[in-house]
Amino acid sequence: MGGASKSKLNLKLKLWRQKNAKDKGYFMDYDVKGISTEASFLEMLDVVNEELVKKGEEPVEFDHDCREGICGMCSLVINGNPHGPDGATTTCQLHMRRFKDGDSVTVEPFRAGAFPVVRDLVVDRSALDRVIQAGGFVSTATGTAQDANCLPVPKDKADRAFLAAACIGCGACVAACKNASASLFVGAKVAHLALLPQGEAEREKRALAMVHQMDAEGFGGCTNTGACAAACPKEISLEHIAILNREFLKASLLER
């Protein structure tokens, strides 16, 4: 592995730097040395920032929270791949042993018109929150929670609803799509509640409201390339886009 030991890496990083959404932005080159192969990708960025601070330079802004693959805030495009080269993995769960000594690694923010850059590698993904606010909830008063075994939910539907609910709303599907479509995200949220009896009362209203809000936020249309499902860290399937299309079409016909 060149001049580095087997447990250490030297890398050439190209990091995206941008002051705000209006700034043009640019790639900055950094030589990073002595990174442990056991470190996570975000820990590597921590090391980079520590060195920049020591030099009196501005650290690179990037999002993170749990660092346990749960929240999805660690949204980065690494060498052209949302969340990095590994499938079903968030950026924070990507480890440096995935790279080789001397590798060139390009890191940039999620690219989508609906995700304006806040600074450097941080983007504003509140558009997804507004889609949820438009209808991704159950507002019908149902009283106190029943015992789970008393709810009349067939196991196959419960299992499918659980798979849809696994979506963490990171936006990798948007970043991977050539059209910057949010259909996989919205499909997962619509399917989750459409498959459960609690969501039945607002089923049509929900599908219409969430799709209309998705369009209003400026997300692109779905052309079924499958890039979204391939990039999803929770492996949400394309089936959920089919469910979304079916729910929206049915609701549109009933609305007339």
Domains by residue range for the chain, with CATH: 8-119 (3.10.20.30), 126-255 (1.10.1060.10)
Q: What per-residue confidence (pLDDT) applies to 153?
A: 86
Digit-coded pLDDT (tens) for 222-247: 999 999 999 999 999 999 999 999 99
The dihedrals phi and psi of 179, each to the nearest 5 degrees, come to -100, 0
Tokens of 253: 């016909």
| Tens of pLDDT, residue by residue, the chain (256 residues) | 444 446 999 999 999 999 999 999 999 999 999 999 999 999 999 999 999 999 999 999 999 999 999 999 999 999 999 999 999 999 999 999 999 999 999 999 999 999 999 999 999 999 999 999 999 998 876 667 667 667 778 889 999 999 999 999 999 999 999 999 999 999 999 999 999 988 999 999 999 999 999 999 999 999 999 999 999 999 999 999 999 999 999 999 988 6
Nearest CA to 187 out of 246, 132, 129, 243 is that of 243
Q: What per-residue confidence (pLDDT) applies to 143?
A: 67
State the Cα–Cα distance between residues 64 and 115, nearest whole angstrom: 16
Digit-coded pLDDT (tens) for 53-101: 999 999 999 999 999 999 999 999 999 999 999 999 999 999 999 999 9
Tokens of 48: 């980079």
Cut 0.85: pTM above it: yes
Q: What per-residue confidence (pLDDT) applies to 2?
A: 45
Q: What per-residue confidence (pLDDT) applies to 152?
A: 79
Nearest CA to 114 out of 190, 185, 205 is that of 185
Strands 8-17 and 104-108, how do they pair? parallel
